[in-house]
Amino acid sequence: MAITNTGAVERNITGVNESEAFRQDSRTNLLTYSEDFSQWSVNEITTQTGFLAPDGSNNAYKITKDGGSGILYLTSVLTSTATRTIYARTVSGTGQLNLTSHNANTNNLFTLTENWQRFEVNGTTSASGQASFYALDFRGSSTLSEVIIWGAQAEEGSEATEYIPTNGAPVTIDNNSTSTVTNTGVVEREIEASHDANFVHPLGDELVTNGDFATDSDWTSLNSTISIENSEITVDSLSGGTGAYQNIQTEIGASYVIEAHSSSHVVGALVRVSNSAVPTAGFLSGDVVDGVSYFVFTALGTNTNIYLRNTTLGTSIWQSVSVKEVLVNRESTVTNTGAVEREIEASHDANFVHPLGDELVTNGDFATDSDWVKGTGWSISNGKAIATNASNQSLSQSTSSVLLNKKYIISFDVEYISGSAKFQFLGGTTQNVATIESSGTQIIEFVSDADKPSYRVKGLTTDGGFNGSIDNVSIKEVLVNRESTVTNTGAVEREVEASHDANFVRPLGDELISNGGFDTESDWTLSGETSISNGKLSFENTSSFSDARQSNIASSGSIYKLSFIVSDYSGGSIQLPFFGAEDGNGGYVINSNGSYSLEDTLFSSDFRIKRRVNGTNLKVDNISLKEVLVNRESTVTNTGVTIRDIEGINESDTF
């Protein structure tokens, strides 16, 4: 497709936002000071502010025991049924501490680590100090003598809701009101008929077998007891880091949506994906938020494990698991046979189409006997490369344009006679992208694992060598999420009666990250053991809290597409706070080299990457964050002609 778009997108959408994803009943944080612990009553403790909090501010407090008692509390009028929560972490190591209520209670002793966690207590079991909120109580069975805390909340109800900050008085939030959202950019669309949901974001076939748990089959236990009945799988863990998993077939470099639903689960339950033989060695994880784990991952191998994991002792019950390929950047099979009218009054985002780069192969149609290095058994004649008993011999060509972590489309035609051959890229590890054992046209998507100096068709020794011919060899870079250079300046009427490109109505906003390539040491706020050098962000054997952030660049609650590259990994993991999770302890976990492309809700105006565990050692590069301007599936069907009014000359050869 040769259309190039050079501008921004304007969408005028004014109306009621009916999304249920973020609606809750009215709720109140009953505490007068949720973060300023200098306003609380103390007994034999010292307080110190200025520590990094889960929301990215420096408003967290370090609390140190200074005597035999050691309590921090706020006198209030709480009932025995109030739900109490607080964020807490250790200064170093692991230990136990009573949180949110008096140490006489039996349901408030928690294990703290160096990672932020939000701790929840549903009601009290003792009348001692019942009306007050004890942020912490060093007495009783507590083993810690210092801790860092932030974000206390008390509310009526059987479970905790999203944190509400207060400063001097209780705060009530009413989430039942509908909101009016206006998006303004550069593309105005008038849709006079309904269209199919897949027109926006088509997905492939279901890849999980027995994902609805209809039968007691297809899932494997990992150091746990599992049972499948009543269309649910129950995972009982005697220790953390256990669960159930299934292996699915994936395509390297392709993106997939995973969605899992849980009716009940242990604290820290998650879904992990892995391309190794051991499911625990995952490269991406999604926490369970409101009973759902939903995220997008890019496959690093042809076999991927889907792992339902308990990180702590207990039982989790899962109702469904689904994995489908995201058909963005591919043609979908939905047929539009109705009337849709769109008026485009200015230029639009490059993602509106699916541009490819320039041809990288020289003389790919073999019009001349040149440009290719021919091994024994290979020749060029009659517009083809011909193999005659080519055993362990190659037809090859050099290149300087196939680069690390870039995606390419490779295609070629085959007239097959006998034997076998492989299409390979050399440099670093040899990558086999296609096996040639039949006639036809092969089209392959390929992500390079290194800069590749050459590619080749290599005849194997099977059956005495490869016999057949190759023609029309093409390699082009996939320019997804890049600006292209051709402008539509005319009027075009198109009848769409077959497949269409998934990006046709799925524009992205402007780039929000400054210096995402780390060309300089500017624009990023660094803490702990992070640094910028040699064009990358480095986490260097972290042993303390470390992160990198850019503040006030996003709109909390909106959906964003995030991409980045992880390299030089040797241990540990990083986390993306608030990306796909409503608190700083949640978000995607990354613990492997690779090129990542994620799409989810960002519950913060800041973007952060933080070290998750001690000993994290890796580098991050090419960070990009763009808002997804079409973020909902629609429910109507296109059934006719598409008319686009474009002022000027149309240089598109879309169809």
Average pLDDT for residues 265-281, to the nearest whole number?
A: 75
Confidence band (pLDDT; 50, 70, 90) for 187?
Answer: very low
Confidence band (pLDDT; 50, 70, 90) for 240?
Answer: low
Greater model confidence, 506 or 545: 545
203-326 fold? Jelly Rolls (2.60.120)
Average pLDDT for residues 374-403, to the nearest whole number?
A: 94
Alpha-carbon distance 568 to 575, whole Å? 17
Average pLDDT for residues 626-647, to the nearest whole number?
A: 48
Q: Residue 351: pLDDT above 50?
A: no
Q: Which residues contact 248 (CB under 8 A, 6 or more apart)?
A: 207, 208, 209, 303, 304, 305, 306, 323
Average pLDDT for residues 531-542, to the nearest whole number?
A: 90
What is residue 483's predicted lDDT score, i.e. its pLDDT? Answer: 37
Q: Residue 241: pLDDT above 50?
A: yes
| Residue 622 CA, distance from chain mean position | 15
**Could you tell me which residues are beta bridge partners of residue 98?**
109, 137
Q: Residue 341: pLDDT above 50?
A: no
Q: Residue 232: pLDDT above 60?
A: yes
**Dihedral pair phi/psi, residue 70, rounded to 5°:** 80, 75
Confidence band (pLDDT; 50, 70, 90) for 352?
Answer: very low
Q: With CA atoms as reference, report the closest residue to 447 among 595, 266, 280, 265.
A: 595
Greater model confidence, 463 or 422: 422
Q: Residue 181: pLDDT above 60?
A: no
Alpha-carbon distance 597 to 542, whole Å? 25
What is residue 634's predicted lDDT score, i.e. its pLDDT? Answer: 35
Q: Residue 105: pLDDT above 60?
A: yes
What is residue 504's predicted lDDT score, i.e. its pLDDT? Answer: 40
What is residue 286's predicted lDDT score, i.e. its pLDDT? Answer: 77
Q: Residue 457: pLDDT above 90?
A: yes
Q: Confirm whether 203-326 and 510-628 share one CATH topology.
A: yes
For the chain, report the end-to-end CA distance as a whole number of angstroms.
Answer: 8
Alpha-carbon distance 151 to 116, whole Å? 11
pLDDT digits (tens, 9 = 90+) for 294-317: 888 888 788 898 999 887 888 999
**Dihedral pair phi/psi, residue 502, rounded to 5°:** -60, -30
Task: Please give the mean pLDDT across all residues of the chain.
Answer: 79
**Dihedral pair phi/psi, residue 82, rounded to 5°:** -65, 145
Burial class (CB within 10 angstroms; exposed 0-12, middle 13-18, buried 19+) of 100: buried
Q: Residue 190: pLDDT above 70?
A: no
Lowest mean pLDDT among 132-136, 557-561, 577-581, 585-589: 585-589
What is residue 480's predicted lDDT score, i.e. its pLDDT? Answer: 53
What is residue 622's predicted lDDT score, i.e. its pLDDT? Answer: 95
Alpha-carbon distance 408 to 402, whole Å? 8
Confidence band (pLDDT; 50, 70, 90) for 23?
Answer: very low
Domain assignments of the chain as residue spans, ordered by start = 27-173, 203-326, 373-477, 510-628
Average pLDDT for residues 226-237, to the nearest whole number?
A: 92
Confidence band (pLDDT; 50, 70, 90) for 80?
Answer: confident
Tally of CB atoms within 10 A around 264:
15
Q: What percent of the chain has pLDDT over 90?
A: 44
Strand segments (E) across 93-231: 95-100, 109-112, 117-122, 133-137, 146-155, 171-173, 179-183, 203-206, 220-222, 225-229
Greater model confidence, 412 or 429: 412
What is residue 407's predicted lDDT score, i.e. its pLDDT? Answer: 87
Q: With CA atoms as reference, report the closest residue to 82 among 147, 35, 136, 129.
A: 129
Alpha-carbon distance 195 to 340, whole Å? 8
**Could you tell me which residues are beta bridge partners of residue 52?**
none
373-477 fold? Jelly Rolls (2.60.120)
Average pLDDT for residues 428-449, to the nearest whole number?
A: 88
Confidence band (pLDDT; 50, 70, 90) for 508?
Answer: confident
What is residue 648's predicted lDDT score, i.e. its pLDDT? Answer: 40
Average pLDDT for residues 108-125, to the nearest whole number?
A: 89
Contact present, 310 and 316 (Cβ < 8 Å) = yes
Q: With CA atoms as reference, report the closest residue to 144 among 203, 99, 95, 73.
A: 95
Confidence band (pLDDT; 50, 70, 90) for 572?
Answer: confident
Alpha-carbon distance 201 to 588, whole Å? 22
Domain 27-173: CATH superfamily is Galactose-binding domain-like (2.60.120.260)
Look at the block and give the residue holding tokens 């807490």.
Answer: 88
Highest average pLDDT, of 501-515, 547-561, 582-596, comes from: 547-561
**Dihedral pair phi/psi, residue 164, rounded to 5°:** -120, 115
Indicate the CATH number of 510-628 among 2.60.15.10, 3.30.70.100, 2.40.30.10, 2.60.120.260. Answer: 2.60.120.260
Confidence band (pLDDT; 50, 70, 90) for 280?
Answer: low
What is residue 641's predicted lDDT score, i.e. its pLDDT? Answer: 38
Which pair of tokens denotes residue 200? 């926006």
Greater model confidence, 400 or 321: 321
Tally of CB atoms within 10 A around 438:
9
Strand segments (E) across 334-374: 337-343, 373-374
